[in-house]
Amino acid sequence: MQTGALTKGPLPPLIWKLAAPMSIGYFFHTMFNITDTWFAGRISTEAMAALSLSFPVFFIILAVGYGLGTGTTALVGGALGKGDARAASDFAGQALAFSILVSVFLTLAGLWSAPGLFRFLGASRDYLGTSLAYMNVIFYASVLFLLAFVFNGILFALGDTRPNRNFLVVAFFVNLLLDPWFIYGGFGLPPLGIAGIGIATLLCEAGGVLYLGVRTFRSGVLVCPRLRCFLPNKRVIVQVMHQGLPAAFSMFTVGGGIFVITYFVGKFGQEAVAAYGIAVRVEHLAVLPAMGLNTATLALVAQNSGAGLGDRVRESLRLAVAYGGKMMLPVGAGVFLAAEPLIGLFTADPRVVSAGAGYLRVDALVFWAYVILYVNVSALQGMKRPMFAVWIGVLRQFVFPVAVFWLLTGFFDCGLMGIWMGILGITWTAALYALYYAKRTVAKAFPVPPH
């Protein structure tokens, strides 16, 4: 194992080496989900609704996995930056063991609570059964999702994002073949309906975990005489939780923020809700080229911060923000100019197209702000300051939206455009504050000596 691999050499090629595979992987992951949604729609409207209803519950598993993966990268990367291979091995082993324990809890809790939760969300009878047929399979796959996040977290700390890209690209094509086979049956397999979509996902994830696990163990980061680093160690587990839980909670705030926006948008009718749902999908695809910068920043800052190289931490952050602007400004201009045709790809309803295009024209001005925000949050997580993500998430997703949307739509009567403008103002405010806070934190941790 090569410790501190990201603490040497010029930063620009390192950033692209880390970011490019991640951006490709994010694209195929998005297409994986779109494929599932498309095939669910071929089964029935009820199946597609069940998939949508399951997403908030599925999101809990993903958020926990994201938190564990991010915490693992910060801890393992910091240890590698210090040249402490034993500590890196301990963090990696404990994160893997802890993820298995957490997945058992998530599976049991999910299987027990899902029927009541889906009833609360409006499912009953056949609709409830369809939702559970899919989600119960996902609960059993919890251990696979969490292990994949942690394996990736270890590999990211080493500066290797290619295995994740390879896994997501192959998983997309395998899922494309398995979905119709499992849904409709054939070659001795009975039709499984929507449960087949869940089983296809489980098998893709199992193959990915096997591949990522092999790559992780071959990396040499896990050096465990008599499997010592996998035995529960309270001190190390507390550190993993300290880094991982805030990151997971920050992901929960994203789901809550979508709920808040949908609540206010819903006051303007179902056409407005449909427009927002379509526009968000376009937004996700538009920002994909820059999303790999988050992981690149996290890995680079984790190792260089651990090594005490403040200048490289500062430069990593500066370059990531600048590269994000160079990518998002032309993308934003394209989305702004093509807003109506983009929404028109999904619907012919003129009211939906008008509302969705209005959102995209405003949102195109926010793309760079998203990158600035996420890059700086990742930098702070790499420096083992995970709580900022929680507080900025709560403020950006709950506190400010409720106040701003109420004022603009209720008090000032700005209509739907008030919500879109509120998103612009809140996101840019959060992004600029994150930039200021991250720079201040770096300056305090690594003061520049007077000349």
Question: For the chain, percent helix, then strand, then coil, each to nearest 5?
Answer: 85, 0, 15
The residue ranking higher by pLDDT, 348 or 380, is: 380
> What is the dihedral sign for C-alpha 422, 424, 427, 430?
negative
Find, among 426, 1, 409, 428, the residue nearest to 221 by Cα.
Answer: 1
Question: Which of 141-145, 197-201, 276-280, 325-329 is predicted with the least confidence, judged by mean pLDDT?
Answer: 276-280
Enclosing H/E stretch for 122: none
| pLDDT at position 274 over 50 | yes
Q: What is the pLDDT of residue 34?
A: 81
**CA 214 – CA 47 distance, rounded (Å):** 36
The closest alpha carbon to 251, from 386, 379, 138, belongs to 386
- Higher confidence at residue 258 or residue 99? 99
pLDDT in tens, 221-270: 887 755 676 777 788 888 888 888 888 888 888 877 877 888 888 888 87
Residue 183 tokens read as 């849904």
Looking at residues 113-135, what average pLDDT do you find? 82
**What confidence tier does 3 reach under pLDDT thresholds 50, 70, 90?**
low
Predicted pLDDT of residue 1 = 46
pLDDT in tens, 120-129: 767 677 878 8
* H-helix or E-strand spanning residue 176: helix 162-184
SS3 of residue 186 by DSSP: strand
Cβ 351 vs Cβ 270: under 8 Å: no
Indicate the residue type of 155: L
Average pLDDT, the chain: 89
DSSP reduced 3-state for 189: strand
**What CA–CA distance (Å, rounded) separates 305 from 243?**
15
Q: What is the pLDDT of residue 49?
A: 74
Percentage of the chain modeled with pLDDT above 90: 55
Phi, then psi, of 189 in degrees rounded to 5: -100, 130
SS3 69: helix
The DSSP-derived string for 220-256 is: T----GGGGGGS--HHHHHHHHHHHHHHHHHHHHHHH
Evaluate if residue 394 carries a pLDDT over 90: yes
Beta carbons within 8 Å of 332's beta carbon, 6+ residues apart: 286, 364, 365, 367, 368
What phi and psi, each to the nearest 5 degrees, are found at residue 349?
-70, 115
Residue 234 or residue 398, greater confidence: 398
Model pTM? Answer: 0.87
From 248, 257, 253, select the one nearest 276 (Cα to Cα): 257
Mean pLDDT of 160-182: 95
Summarised one tens digit per residue, pLDDT across range 193-209 is 889 999 999 999 999 99
Res 225: pLDDT? 59
Q: What is the pLDDT of residues 40-91, one digit of tens each?
A: 878 877 777 777 777 778 888 988 999 999 999 999 999 998 888 888 888 9
Mean pLDDT check: name the lowest of 15-19, 77-81, 220-224, 326-330.
220-224
Ranked by mean pLDDT, which of 31-40, 81-90, 97-106, 219-228 comes out on top?
97-106
Per-residue confidence at 373, pLDDT binned at 50, 70, 90?
very high
* Res 421: pLDDT: 96
